[in-house]
Amino acid sequence: MRILVGMSALCGMALVGCGSTTITCGPGTVLSADGTECIGNGGNPDLGVQLTCGPGEVIMGTQCVLTATNCSATGTMLDPTANKCIPATNGTLVESPTVVFSYPNVFYAVPDGGAPNTDAGTGTTAFAPVGSLVAKTATGLTATEPLYNKVGVPIGGQTLQARYPLTAAYPGPFTPVPTTLDPNKKITLGDWEACKATVNWYKSPKQVNGNNAYRLTVDLGGCWPFSVWTTWFFWTSNGSRINPLFAAPAGGLPNMFVTDANGAAHFERDLDPNVWFKDMTNIPFAIAHTSAGTTIDLTANPMMAVNVQVVWHGDGQTNGNVGFCEKDPVSGNCVTPAPAVVNLLAFGPPFTSFFHQLTEPGTALTKLQPF
């Protein structure tokens, strides 16, 4: 905004008549009660002439202030108290689904196949899953129970043998690289269950592709610091994660977020329902879990829902390098040209991805249709 100097200052510069000279006030100002100067709308004696406000601003009292239009043009909202644009609210809440823990990729030690932390004498140790996709099934475990991956490697901070490939002929030497999470830190069952997610669906204040959008937010708290997570969609036939139809990264790639030093993190994505949730829409970038394909069909599956799954990546990475080429299964030769392929998850070797939490039941797709 632009404010011109007051009349009292102008008198000193002999730019206007002073003393007994009649004062003629400009537009937007009035003569003060004592008749000595022009004052602005709000009675500020230092504001002697009209305010000139910027685009979208209005005069309020003695100053230019922002309007809601001023902020909405930048996707923000007006804070009238502070007279500034602030990040917009998430919109109208649609649903806050229940979030439960997942345990199929975390294991506990069972010496001799007996009760946890006991030894019948042979010295052999097996590793059993703590639970299923949607529930803990192991009993007798305490918060201090150390957790392992499928092959019995403790999960937590680690030092990885990494390399930085330059060319196919020179893949680079292996170099030990520690994770930001202290390599000495090992995750316990208590750590696993202290890390909690909150998931919310909103009608977003923004549009995507020119269409009204839904906003997904995922917030983590109480987790281990500097850890890498991804968010996934599982379309399910009846809202239960144990009945998946197909799956894809939530909103496409990237779908990752990272906890801060306090173990907190935030993920959000605005989604065009015409692309992700509309009845009879095919999701070509999803991976089918059944022979039914990747088309949303609310006639065949009227209870169809989308479950939000949060995955922890124990190696601090969201993908695995599959090499410079993939081999033809018949000839064993590299496919030319080499395809651009990445492994988004590592539930197989080296077993560094872990289902951690999910919405159960999922959010009914009837709640996420275009509006």
List, for residues 245-293, the tens digit of each pLDDT value: 999 999 999 999 999 999 999 999 999 999 999 999 999 989 999 988 9
CB hemisphere CA count around 64 (13 angstroms): 13
Q: Which amino acid is at 183?
A: P
Band (345; pLDDT cuts 50, 70, 90): confident
Residue 314, pLDDT above cutoff 60: yes
- DSSP symbol at 365: G
Domain residue limits, the chain: 7-88, 89-371
Residue with tokens 């906890």: 259
Q: Within 10 Å of residue 123's Cβ, how many Cβ atoms?
A: 8
Whole-angstrom distance, CA of residue 363 vs CA of residue 216: 11
Mean pLDDT of 34-38: 62
Instruction: Name the residue among 203, 212, 215 with its Cα closest to residue 274.
Output: 212
The pTM of the full predicted model, rounded to 2 decimals, is 0.72
Whole-angstrom distance, CA of residue 110 vs CA of residue 127: 6
Whole-angstrom distance, CA of residue 107 vs CA of residue 163: 29
- The structure tokens listed for 128 are 């059993």
Residue 26 Cα distances to 38, 97, 221, 343, angstroms: 8, 60, 58, 70
Residue 241, pLDDT above cutoff 70: yes
List, for residues 148-188, the tens digit of each pLDDT value: 999 899 999 989 887 776 666 666 777 888 998 999 999 99
